[in-house]
Amino acid sequence: MKKNLPTKVYVQARTILALMLLTAITLHKELQSLPTDTPQQQYDLLLEQAQKCIKQKLFDQAINSLSQALTLMPNKKELLPILAYAYYSKNDSESAWLTYQKAAQAFPNRADIHFNTGFLARLLGKFEQAFPEFKKVIELDPSYNKAREQLGYTYLTLGRLQEGWAQFRYLDRRDPSIDNAHRLYDIDPKGKTIMVKDIGGYGDLFQFIRHAEELKKRGAHIIFYARPEIIPLLSRCPFFDQIVSQKEPVPEFDYYTNIAKMREDLDISIETISCSTPYIHPDPMLIKKWANAFTGDTQFKIGISWQAQMYVDEKTGQPILCSRSISAEQIKKLVREFPFISFYSLQKNADCSTLAIHKNFHTFDDSFDKINGRFMDTAAVMKNLDLVITIDTSIAHLAGALGVPVWTMLRKFPDWRWFIEREDSPWYPTMRLFRQPKEGDWNTIIQNIINELPLFIIKEQAAH
């Protein structure tokens, strides 16, 4: 090209091309700086992204998209409940609660939003802030039974038991499946046959059969309608006149209740919780058998349970610990700290390999609690131990009902039955409670136990 054009023309052409390129680049930059969509279109795109992320359980990305959408269009308050759900799903309950509070202000007549706000307040231990939310739900929708149930549990957690039972009795009267004509509300049980049905978990069973003693004191004839596998363990409970297997026909009765409803029927308060302890009595022959088995172990003996039911992670399909459980690695610190203490696992179906490397850690064989019956060996072993250390599980309630020394390790905000802040338990005079200072902090509890154990051992040895 250069050979066929004069030099001046060639330079001009090059200059024009350079200007054209510069213009194109500038225009491209300007176009990039301009919004490609209207605010509404950008909002719609962000919302679509958030919904896809929630379905895929990518909650961090969902929160980011929803936050951008709210920044873009602050008046779109309907995004707040979705954002709160995303926070809760990624286990950020504090942010979820704060977001639901904003949603409740934006939508004061939405019962579901007030319920979620109250539920999270209770979950976070903000009990006084939970009350008005649940009451608002009931005001908006009197048929919202879950709100009344949660209101009841909030009262119970604070030790206001009779106010809590009142909420549950209200629900019972509205339930057509419950024959309230034969419930124990406001009746004199003297001379009446009362059937108590066994329901719920084993921990509930061990804890709440205590209330049958009050019925017994009032002159009732008590029939316990029990799961067959638990009858051998409870056969020596002094509160029952008769125990019938649930594999048998329902016996005749005048009034009935169950493990969960008995406490409501009797309108139990903190002051009337106590009962004669122990009230579960293991087989004396099994107690003797395990005493003989332990004769070779002259060390201080502790039974230990650290794991509740496992759950499956929805994303990975892998088993995960529930929030009441402690990892074996954390328990290992305790076992390793005291080589002069014998630790006996009261754990079922747990991997003990991490702990088994320590010579002072012991397990039982596969026949344990199988040949003699459910919890039969566990109860007899506990009567031969110096202390039980456990998380919030049936082991804690069994130890308490047996009247043996037991230290129970609790989450920051545990189940209502442990109330708040107490180090003792009105349910069990031989129990001491160790609470997390903050949610998830098991290390502090383990360290507190390490600090307290030597003092406890000295005290026990002096007493004997």
In a domain, 265, yes or no: yes
Asked if 120 and 233 sit in the same domain, the reply is no
Query: Is the pLDDT confidence value at 403 over 90?
Result: yes
Q: What is the mean pLDDT of residues 171-197?
A: 82
Asked if 251 and 302 sit in the same domain, the reply is no
pLDDT of residue 322: 76
Query: Is the pLDDT confidence value at 19 over 90?
Result: no
In a domain, 457, yes or no: yes
pLDDT of residue 323: 85
Query: Is the pLDDT confidence value at 321 over 70?
Result: no
Q: How many domains does the structure of the chain reveal?
A: 4
Asked if 247 and 291 sit in the same domain, the reply is no
pLDDT of residue 405: 98
Beta bridge partners of 236: none
pLDDT of residue 312: 56
Final residue belonging to a domain, choices 238, 272, 306: 272
Higher pLDDT, 313 or 88: 88
In a domain, 146, yes or no: no
In a domain, 217, yes or no: yes
Asked if 24 and 50 sit in the same domain, the reply is no
206: CATH: 3.40.50
> What number of residues does the chain have?
464
Asked if 240 and 104 sit in the same domain, the reply is no
Asked if 109 and 190 sit in the same domain, the reply is no
In a domain, 148, yes or no: no
95: CATH: 1.25.40.10
Q: Flag whether the pTM goes above 0.75.
A: yes
Q: What is the mean pLDDT of residues 96-104?
A: 97
Asked if 97 and 49 sit in the same domain, the reply is yes
Interatomic CA distance for residues 425 and 316, integer angstroms? 38
Confidence of residue 10 (pLDDT cuts 50, 70, 90): very low
Asked if 348 and 232 sit in the same domain, the reply is no
In a domain, 279, yes or no: no
pLDDT of residue 5: 47
In a domain, 161, yes or no: no
Asked if 313 and 451 sit in the same domain, the reply is yes
pLDDT mean across residues, the chain: 90
Residues 81-99: tens digit of each pLDDT: 999 999 999 999 999 999 9
Query: Is the pLDDT confidence value at 180 over 80?
Result: no
Asked if 69 and 20 sit in the same domain, the reply is no
Q: Which residue's structure tokens are 């579901």? A: 112
Full residue range of the structural domain in which residue 191 is found? 180-272
End-to-end CA distance of the chain: 112
Amino acid letter, 143: S
Query: Is the pLDDT confidence value at 31 over 50?
Result: no
Residues 347-391: tens digit of each pLDDT: 987 788 888 889 999 999 999 999 999 999 999 999 999 999 999
Asked if 218 and 83 sit in the same domain, the reply is no
Q: What is the mean pLDDT of residues 172-201?
A: 83
Residues 118-143: tens digit of each pLDDT: 999 999 999 999 999 999 999 999 99
